[in-house]
């Protein structure tokens, strides 16, 4: 009961200090600052430089095709041709898959601050085994509060979360609709707060879209990839096995809550953006909650049946 009262009081204080259009800034404190210098984001912790963002042009492609490795159960049975010859992006726990195969991903992307708060050891693993780590500002804050030296001298790409922009009030539909590298759903909000969209302007940021693979796709398109393959993108509800690896205490999944209202509408905008730009999307999962009308199957039905057998 006491904890509930304290939480209610804190919420009242936040609402007083941070108006609704600026309320997302309540998650930060004055130990953390972020500034832009010559197009680079620089993060400081207690006044000391803690991380410096790369410029997108400093991340070089070795292929025009990208494999985004999600953590669905189908990942374990996916044929190697899904990623061979392509640059690789791992997200969240799929870094374990890359380590098992001695692969060096081009990028590792995390956009969920809860994952950053609970899984710093997986992030450490990624720092040691990928070319570049890619984090939203809030995830960077959650990691620096645990280890302020974690990213010193490391290759890091810092991204803003467009629906929770650091240091400013929320964007409006009109502001985002006017930007050339942004496509939004013209009428839809999620929970009356979040704009549904896609961005390839990495200085502006990305739309989280309810799943980290959508952010990874936006980063990939911004870097110039024209052929994007999702691997392990099952997106099945929590009642089934959620991930390809065993978890002692499973990471929370919000697929059930977010699928219809945020995730699938975000994939719909992604598909429209890719169609307009001539970018190919495909999904190697034999049984995905993402409809084939939004992300076509990489394999024919007969091949999918063989892969699942």
The CATH code of the domain that includes 93 is 3.90.1480
Tell me the whole-structure pTM to 2 decimals.
Answer: 0.87
| 3-state SS class at 102 | coil
Q: Which two tokens stand for residue 242?
A: 């959620």
φ/ψ region of 244 (left if φ > 0, alpha if ψ in -120 to 50, else beta) reads: alpha
Question: How many angstroms separate the CA atoms of 8 and 20, rounded?
Answer: 16
Percent over 70 (pLDDT), the chain: 83
Between 6-15, 85-94, 184-193, 252-261, the lowest mean confidence (pLDDT) is in 6-15
Residue of 118, 88, 93, 92 lying closest to 106 (CA atoms): 88
Examine residue 42 and state whether it is found in any structural domain, yes or no: no
CB of 119 closer than 8 Å to CB of 150: no
Assigned domain for 19 exists: no
The answer to whether the CB of 166 falls within 8 A of the CB of 34 is yes
Is residue 267 domain-resident?
A: yes
Calculate mean pLDDT across residues 38-53. Answer: 95
What is the Cα–Cα distance from 165 to 147, expressed in whole angstroms?
Answer: 23
Residue 304 lies in a domain: yes
Structural domain that includes position 177: 54-308
pLDDT tens-digit profile of 122-164? 999 999 999 999 999 999 999 999 999 999 999 999 999 999 9
Burial of 283 (0-12, 13-18, 19+ CB in 10 A): buried
210 and 111 Cβ atoms separated by less than 8 Å: no
66, β-bridge pairs: 87, 228
Is 237 within the bounds of a domain? Answer: yes
Residue 45 lies in a domain: no
In the chain, at which residue ranges do the beta strands (DSSP E only) sit?
32-37, 40-45, 48-52, 65-69, 87-91, 107-110, 132-136, 156-159, 182-190, 194-199, 227-231, 280-283
State residue 204's pLDDT score: 95
Pair 139, 161: CB distance under 8 Å: no
Is there a contact between 209 and 149 (Cβ–Cβ < 8 Å)? no
Strand partners for 157: 134
Q: How confident is residue 22, by pLDDT bands cut at 50, 70 and 90?
A: low
User: What's the DSSP call for residue 175?
Assistant: H
> 64, 162, 138: which is closest to 106 by C-alpha?
64
The single residue listed with the structure tokens 């790369």 is 54
Please indicate, yes or no, if residue 274 is contained in any of the structural domains: yes
Pairing of strands 40-45, 48-52: antiparallel
- What is residue 297's three-state secondary structure? strand
| Radius of gyration, CA atoms only, the chain | 19
139 within some domain: yes
d(CA 186, CA 173): 7
Mean pLDDT of the chain: 88
Domain count, the chain: 1
Is residue 150 within 8 Å of residue 124, measured between CB atoms? Answer: yes
| Local structure of residue 228 (DSSP, 8 states) | E
Mean pLDDT value across residues 196-209: 96
Residue 238 has pLDDT above 80, yes or no: no
């Amino acid at each position: 009961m006491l904890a509930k009262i304290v939480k209610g009081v804190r919420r009242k204080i936040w609402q007083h200090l941070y108006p609704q259009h600026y309320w997302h800034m309540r998650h930060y404190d004055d130990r953390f600052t972020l500034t832009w210098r010559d197009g680079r984001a620089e993060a400081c912790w207690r006044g000391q430089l803690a991380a410096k963002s790369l410029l997108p042009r400093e991340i070089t492609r070795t292929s025009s095709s990208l494999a985004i490795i999600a953590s669905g159960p189908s990942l374990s049975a996916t044929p190697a041709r899904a990623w061979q010859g392509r640059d690789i992006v791992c997200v969240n726990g799929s870094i374990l898959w890359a380590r098992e195969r001695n692969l060096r991903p081009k990028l590792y992307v995390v956009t969920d601050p809860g994952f950053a708060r609970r899984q710093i050891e997986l992030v450490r693993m990624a720092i040691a085994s990928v070319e570049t780590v890619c984090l939203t500002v809030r995830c960077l804050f959650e990691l620096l509060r645990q280890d302020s030296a974690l990213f010193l001298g490391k290759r890091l790409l810092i991204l803003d979360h467009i629906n929770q922009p650091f240091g400013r009030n929320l964007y409006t539909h009109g502001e985002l609709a006017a930007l050339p590298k942004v496509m939004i759903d013209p009428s839809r909000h999620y929970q009356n707060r979040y704009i549904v969209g896609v961005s390839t302007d990495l200085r502006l940021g990305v739309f989280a879209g309810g799943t980290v693979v959508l952010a990874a796709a936006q980063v990939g398109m911004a870097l110039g990839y024209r052929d994007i393959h999702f691997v392990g993108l099952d997106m099945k509800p929590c009642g089934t096995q959620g991930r390809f690896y065993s978890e002692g205490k499973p990471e929370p999944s919000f697929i059930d809550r977010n699928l219809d209202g945020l995730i699938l509408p975000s994939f719909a905008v992604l598909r429209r953006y890719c169609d307009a730009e001539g970018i190919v999307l495909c999904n190697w999962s034999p049984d995905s909650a993402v409809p084939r009308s939004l992300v076509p199957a990489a394999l024919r039905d007969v091949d999918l049946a063989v892969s699942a057998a």
